[in-house]
């Protein structure tokens, strides 16, 4: 890692990873693959939890320092974490309920759930913007290079380990969608 160009914004790729997994879950729902969509939502929930725990344990403690040195960048983010996690838990319960329904009931349930998930997506995007525009640049201002190397490399390493564990199932789901598309093109 090049210490000179090291910045907390490098953690932003985690949000892209998360967003990709959530989109995969929704694409599977649109294809009517409720069981697989349910499985990918569970993976998403555990990855989101890992990411939020990382931020709460390693970045948010720095907010006290940020409040003293750059108070305009110390945005309140824990409440948003709680709201996002609560919504995801509700989606997980609804997905388990969908599995018990008939095909036509599932289709209507999927429409409702996609609707409800739009609030979560808005919150995810605005939270991402707050972290990207305020928190992460603020953390660059109040930390020295050694601190940044330590925190960022630890967080990226732990995140990649979590993604690696989820990767086989994510690849299977992605391949399923590719096959689904191929069949539609042929027919
Ligand atoms: Fe966050
Ligand atoms: Fe984040």
Q: Which pLDDT belongs to residue 120?
A: 97
Coil vs helix vs strand at 123: helix
Residue 114 has pLDDT above 80, yes or no: yes
Mean of pLDDT values over 148-167 = 95
Among 90, 106, 88, CA closest to 33: 106
Residue whose entry in the numeric block shows the structure tokens 């564990």: 165
Q: How many Å lie between the centroid of ligand 1 and the Cα of residue 55?
A: 6
Residue ranges covered by each domain of the chain: 8-173
Residue 4 has pLDDT above 60, yes or no: no
Residue whose entry in the numeric block shows the structure tokens 């990855």: 47
Q: How many Å lie between the centroid of ligand 1 and the Cα of residue 26?
A: 21
Residue whose entry in the numeric block shows the structure tokens 């707050």: 130
pLDDT per residue over 12-44, tens digit each?
Answer: 899 999 999 999 999 999 999 999 999 999 999
Q: How many Å lie between the centroid of ligand 2 and the Cα of residue 100?
A: 34
Q: Which pLDDT belongs to residue 20?
A: 97
Read off the pLDDT band of 73 (50, 70, 90): low
73-102 as b/e: b if 16+ CB within 10 A:
bbeebeebbeebeebbeebeebbeebeeee
pLDDT per residue over 120-134, tens digit each?
Answer: 999 999 999 989 888
Q: How many Å lie between the centroid of ligand 2 and the Cα of residue 32?
A: 30
pLDDT per residue over 37-56, tens digit each?
Answer: 999 999 999 999 999 999 98
Q: Which pLDDT belongs to residue 74?
A: 60
Q: How many Å lie between the centroid of ligand 1 and the Cα of residue 132?
A: 10
Based on the number of CB atoms within 10 Å of its own CB, is 64 exposed (0-12), middle (13-18) or buried (19 or more)? Answer: exposed
DSSP 137-187: HHHHHHS-HHHHHHHHHHHHHHHHHHHHHHHHHHHHHHHHHHHHHHHHHH-
**Nearest-angstrom CA–CA distance, 47 and 22:** 10
Coil vs helix vs strand at 33: coil
**Nearest-angstrom CA–CA distance, 18 and 50:** 11
Read off the pLDDT band of 70 (50, 70, 90): low
Mean of pLDDT values over 168-174 = 96
């Amino acid at each position: 890692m090049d210490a000179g160009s090291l910045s907390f914004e490098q953690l932003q790729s985690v949000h892209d990873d998360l967003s990709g997994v959530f989109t995969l879950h929704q694409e599977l729902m649109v294809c009517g693959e409720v069981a697989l969509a349910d499985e990918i939502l569970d993976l998403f929930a555990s990855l989101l939890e890992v990411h939020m725990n990382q931020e709460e344990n390693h970045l948010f403690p720095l907010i006290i320092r940020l409040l003293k040195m750059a108070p305009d960048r110390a945005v309140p983010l824990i409440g948003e974490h709680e709201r996002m996690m609560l919504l995801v838990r509700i989606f997980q319960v609804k997905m388990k309920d969908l599995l018990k329904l008939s095909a036509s009931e599932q289709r209507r349930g999927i429409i409702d759930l996609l609707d409800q998930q739009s609030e979560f997506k808005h919150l995810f995007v605005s939270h991402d913007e707050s972290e990207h525009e305020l928190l992460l640049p603020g953390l660059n201002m109040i930390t020295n290079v050694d601190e940044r190397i330590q925190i960022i490399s630890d967080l990226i390493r732990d995140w990649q380990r979590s993604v690696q564990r989820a990767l086989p199932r994510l690849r299977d789901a992605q391949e399923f969608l590719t096959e689904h598309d191929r069949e539609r093109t042929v027919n």
